[in-house]
Chains A and B, each alone.
Chain A
Amino acid sequence: MQFGIFTVGDVTPDPTTGREPTEHERIKAILTIAQKAEEVGLDVFALGEHHNPPFIPSSPTTMLGYIAAKTEKLILSTSTTLITTNDPVKIAEDFATLQHISDGRTDIMLGRGNTGPVYPWFGQDIRQGIPLAIEHYALLNRLFREDVVDWSGKFRTPLQGFTATPRPLDDVPPFVWHGSIRSPEIAEQAAFYGDGFFANNIFWPKEHYMRLIGYYRQRFEHYGHGTAAQAIVGLGGQAFIRKNSQDAKDEFRPYFDQAPVYGNGPSMEEFTEQTPLTVGSPQEVIDRYASMRDYYGDYQRQLFLMDHAGLPLKTVLEQLDILGEEVVPVLRKELAVNRPAEVPDAPTHASLLAAKKTRDAAAAEQQLVSQEA
């Protein structure tokens, strides 16, 4: 089971002081936060991609490349990489490069993006969001696996004899997650390829995600990648933690009340009841997230959104200390209890490389047998 954090990279004024960090400060803060994630024992850091203010991560692999150099074990991922408006060729190049720089500590979470104008800014049409996601990924998947690609589709100029360089590290493509809030097409796509499925989980009630994840698991089995229980599921989450529950609520409330996404809407109490946002003591956060598998089945990756809504860097780092030291170690233990043996861990470069070696050895043996015969 992997635990980590994901960020959207918003520049938001601190509602308690009115102070807005500069873009420079925010970029540096995110780099600090990622390094802190490794320091406190988290497994994954995922960075969003946006092309409009108030967000800063328009060039995720630049930032992830720096983080790769500053860390040893942290897996670098995205939340999400826009498969619709990016050229799949550029995604293949950027992430294969990052894979080499990070010695394999790279995976990708693909998403469509829901900011209307970003599509026309990049020459696309939001009404084609799903067809773009399907076609672009079909190409990306081949660019990662085939040395020479001939390809033509509806959205991109054709390729003849194209080789994406560098080739993936050890000829093992980075593992891909597909993120979706509501589209069965994307769950179907993830299941078809045997890729991971990430349910953002933080904006909708659990019943909605239970249906979406249930659908993905069922289709994963249908496409022959394993049983439904073996499908690779990731979940988003959100917490604000202090030793005393009431302190957490008091401190987080002004941030919640004016948060860009849900501010001035439901009360913090309503929102924490309806979504996985948990504001309270370490034990409350542990209890909430230990129960997620009751709804979604045993899963592979839990990411938390910790640095948004204008929370100052100092607070975020304190939150990561609590998350890494008091919450995640207990969750690791609790989620290991009664976890069926058949449920795999999230694929990593090491596990995918080992699987490839086993496959290659079996193929070589097969060839030897047929030569002898």
Chain B
Amino acid sequence: MAERTIAVISAGLSKPSSTRLLADRLGDAAARRLIERGDTVKVEVIELRDLAHDITNNLLTGFPSSQLESAIEKVLTADGVIAVTPIFTASYNGLFKSFFDIIEPGSLIDMPVLLAATGGTARHSLAIDYALRPLFAYLHADVASTGVFASTDDWGSDEDGVKPLPERIDRAAEELVGLVTRSTRSKVLHDPWALPAGFRPNGPAGLE
């Protein structure tokens, strides 16, 4: 029915990484649901590791390389974002935060977002709620209430026998798809060159 793009951001530092693994699972689950609804879906994966130097350079010079600019563009023009980071020292890793630091303020307003994280043990699972969620609240993104945390054990025996990882992934993907299909964000024209309402080039305080 609709053509939709899901941008999947993975801040895993190793290759392969369990963060990317979780990101792919979430991307697949969301895409499957959208396809079942009759949508055409494109999943764009952004591996921040590949952009790590460009991200640091952007922090220092103030502008993105063309490769980084196209990655940012993919995120901003997506219909939904899946953001996945490893938990380092009690929070998202620095690469993850740096990527969001260089994105123009205000450009993720109303973006449907699914948050996910990986870590060594389940003791870190609340980092999604005390670290990632406030970041995306600041960005005024539209965040799914379920966040998915995968600890190392989740990839093996069903550590959580009541709610194993695949079920958590399914539930989160379902919520993201709900946000994406209800969102009107993609239909609104985002013109970075638009002048503010009431702007007058010779008015007092630049206003009419």
Contacts and interface: CB of A to CB of B under 8 A. Distances in A.
A153 B205 contact: yes
Interface stretch (B9-17, B114-122, B167-175, B194-202): B194-202
A270 interface: yes
Contact of A134 (B56, B61, B194, B201): B201
B203 A134 contact: yes
A212 to B, nearest CB: 9
A86 B116 CA distance: 49
B207 interface: yes
A153 B205 CA distance: 7
B106 interface: no
Nearest to B56: A265
Contacts of A138: 202-204
Contacts of A263: 60
Interface stretch (A202-210, A299-307, A363-371): A202-210
Contact of B63 (A132, A141, A205, A264): A205
Interface residues on B, range: 20 to 34
B205 A134 contact: yes
A162 interface: no
A154 B56 CA distance: 40
Interface stretch (A182-190, A248-256, A288-296, A316-324): A182-190
A128 to B, nearest CB: 8
A54 to B, nearest CB: 18
Interface string A190-220: 0111000000000111011001000100000
A130 interface: yes
Nearest to A191: B201
A203 B61 CA distance: 7
A79 to B, nearest CB: 18
Interface residues on A, range: 35 or more
Nearest to B196: A185
Given A184-B195, A185-B199, A270-B65, A135 B60 contact: no
Contact of A203 (B62, B206, B207): B62
B57 interface: yes
Given A203-B62, A205-B66, A264-B60, A154 B205 contact: yes
Contact of A131 (B66, B69, B194, B205): B205
A262 interface: yes
Interface string A326-364: 000000000000000000000000000000000000000
Contacts of A262: 60-61
A131 B206 contact: yes
A215 B194 CA distance: 11
A131 B69 CA distance: 29
Contacts, number: 75
Nearest to A128: B205
Interface string A265-309: 110001100100000000000000000000000000000000000
A274 B65 contact: yes
A135 B195 contact: no
Contacts of A193: 201-202
A325 B143 CA distance: 61
Interface string A131-157: 111110010010000000000011100
Contacts of B62: 203-204
A261 interface: yes
A154 B204 contact: yes
A188 B199 contact: yes
A126 B31 CA distance: 44
A153 B207 CA distance: 11
Nearest to B66: A205
Given A188-B195, A189-B201, A266 B206 contact: no
B98 to A, nearest CB: 13
Given A205-B66, A215-B193, A265-B56, A153 B204 contact: yes
A211 B152 CA distance: 48
Interface in B34-78: 56-57, 60-63, 65-66, 69
Interface of A: 128, 130-135, 138, 141, 153-155, 184-185, 188-189, 191-193, 203-205, 207-208, 211, 215, 261-266, 270-271, 274
Interface of B: 56-57, 60-63, 65-66, 69, 193-196, 199-207
16 contacts: A131-B205, A134-B200, A134-B201, A134-B205, A138-B203, A185-B201, A188-B199, A191-B201, A203-B61, A262-B60, A262-B61, A263-B60, A265-B56, A265-B61, A266-B57, A266-B60
Shortest 4 CB-CB distances between A and B: which pairs? A134-B206, A265-B60, A192-B201, A131-B205
